[in-house]
Structures are given as C-alpha cells and as structure tokens.
Amino acid sequence: MQTEALPPDETGLSRAAAILSAGGLVAFPTETVYGLGADARSDFAVARIFDAKGRPRFNPLIVHVTDLATACKYAHFSETATALATRFWPGPLTLVLPLRDGCGLSPLVTAGLATVAIRVPAHPLARALLGRFNGPLAAPSANPSGKVSPTRAAHVATGLTGRIEAILDGGPSSVGLESTILGLAGEPTLLRPGGIATEALEAALGHPLSRYENAQKPNAPGQLASHYAPDAPIRLNVTQPETGETWVGFGPCKGAALTLSATANLIEAAANLFDTLRRADALAGPKGRIAFAPIPETGLGRAINDRLKRAAAPRD
C-alpha cells in the first residue's frame, strides 16, 4: 500500500475525510501525539487499526469527537464527568464512562467492555478533520504497538508507511504526552497520567485521586510494564553517565548529548520527550545505551517519569 502524505489544508482535509469514510486509516495530529484514525462505527476500519499497529485486540481505543454534546451520544455523563469535560475539553483529558447502549460504536473500539474512553482534542487540524468527517474517530497513538509514540508526521511515517492510507501533517504536537485517562465509571481513578497534570484534576475534583496500579491485568496498554520502548537500553535518574551512555539532560547537565529542557521546564520537556527518545536511540546506535537525568515528580513530570519508567522496563 502507498501511504499518502497529506498537507494541512482544504485539499488534505477533504482527502483524509474521504479515506476515513471509505473505511481507511489516516494518521492525524493531535495536541498530545499523532493518532491513527478510523471510523469508530465500522468494525472493518477499527480492525484495521489493530492490524496496522500489531496491537493486542483486548486493548480498547479512545473515541475522538468534536464536542461534549456529541460525546453524550456515546457515553453516559455523570455530573462530575460533565464538570470535568466542561473544564478541560477541548484538551488532553480522556474520560472512561459507561457506554450508551445501541450508540453505534463498533464493539472492537471498547474491546467488548461496558465503558468507553472518549475525548475532545484541541488541535485545530484534528478538530477540522472531525468536522469534515462528521463522525466519531477511534484513534490510538500512530505507532507500532509497544514502540515510542509519534509527535511528528515523520515519526508516523517511520513506523507505519505501507500499512496505512495517509498521514495528515500538522507539524509537531505541542503537548507531546498522551492524554491523561480518568476512569469515571465508578470511583474517580487515574488510569494513565498524561497531558493534564494530576494536580489540576485533583483541584477540579476537590479530592485526591486513587491510581489504578495492576501491571498483571492492565486495562490501558500505556500501563503495560514495557512500553514506549526504543532499541537501546535505558537507565534513569542518572547524574553521572557511564562510558558508552548517551546522556539526556534536564536543567544544567554538563556534557549531556541531548536535553529535554535546558531550563528545567517540564512543559518543554514533555513536548520534547518522544522525539528526544528517538534521537537518543539513533545517537546510541546498535550497542549503545541511553541515560536520563532525574525529572522532578510534580506536574507533567509525573507523566514524563511514567513514560520513562516503561521505556526503561525489562523487555521480553
């Protein structure tokens, strides 16, 4: 299959919407990472996502819609859910809510669960595409399963060329980390830290969040122990790199090959994370190793450390 490179204009959007309507796959930019989009109502289109990514079928997908009113067609919103959606959408927050019976979503999207993960993205091109397509888009991150998430069209091309119909190029993703996933089908539960800081959610909720931790039975692939993995092994919290290590700094780190943020800015570090992982992997080469400087465990630092831990985890 030829993968088309689509420009961020009317022509690109029309072509992308036409491909999606015909059951095809289009990678598109969101503010978090690039998503691999398919019509969330079509079993055929959604099955192709799993195939293109090599993703285990029991892992459900996030449904992307244009606004809260549309989201209400697919999920039951509690008062809390409505309040959080109003406060944080459009933006990097995914809510897991009770699925509305007969709402028309493919059961493959939810992996047969009685809940659905749903979000309203903020990226103007994602919003324009949702408007053109005029339907719900199932979209996981546009990378082969288990690999580093894409924050640029070129990252998507590296992983998925020949496996998908098109890539809509909208430049680098501004947030750089996947959405925060909050479970609201029962007690509010943080399922995945991400682009909205946990502190901001807790402030909006008015109480601390419990965190879902069960690596044996993850209900989000971002929770699998090894994920976001580059080829080179990774060591974390490194202040003194060893010979043979490509050192990635945060704040002042004399001799670092790369930096997530020279000024120790967590927002900048999040935006740089996945691209830097790829660069470090390329610099390290086939026998090399990567070392990361410590990142503080506050704000977006929690989500950055979460991704780094999984990137550094032992692999099978």
Binding site for ligand TXA (CB under 6 A): 30, 32-33, 35, 59-62, 92, 94, 96, 110, 113, 115-117, 139-141, 178-179, 181, 191-192, 219-222
* Residue 140 or 249 having the CB closest to Mg ion: 140
For residues 215 and 224, give the distance between their C-alpha atoms in angstroms, rounded to a whole number. Answer: 6
User: Residue 63 forms beta bridges with which residues?
Assistant: 118, 138
* Residue 35 or 301 having the CB closest to ligand TXA: 35
The answer for 134, left when phi > 0, alpha when psi is -120 to 50, beta otherwise, is left
Do 268 and 301 touch, CB atoms closer than 8 A?
no
* Residue 141 or 259 having the CB closest to Mg ion: 141
* Residue 141 or 276 having the CB closest to ligand TXA: 141
Q: E strands, the chain, where?
A: 4-6, 26-28, 35-39, 62-64, 93-98, 115-119, 137-138, 166-168, 180-183, 189-192, 210-211, 234-235, 245-249, 258-259, 289-292
* Residue 59 or 66 having the CB closest to ligand TXA: 59
Do 163 and 157 touch, CB atoms closer than 8 A?
no
- From the CB of 149, what's the least distance to Mg ion, in Å? 5
Q: 304 contacts which partner out of ligand TXA, Mg ion, none, CB within 5 to 8 A by kind?
A: none
- From the CB of 45, what's the least distance to ligand TXA, in Å? 15
Q: 93 contacts which partner out of Mg ion, ligand TXA, none, CB within 5 to 8 A by kind?
A: none
Q: 118 contacts which partner out of Mg ion, ligand TXA, none, CB within 5 to 8 A by kind?
A: none
Pairing status of strand 245-249 against strand 234-235: unpaired
Q: 232 contacts which partner out of Mg ion, ligand TXA, none, CB within 5 to 8 A by kind?
A: none
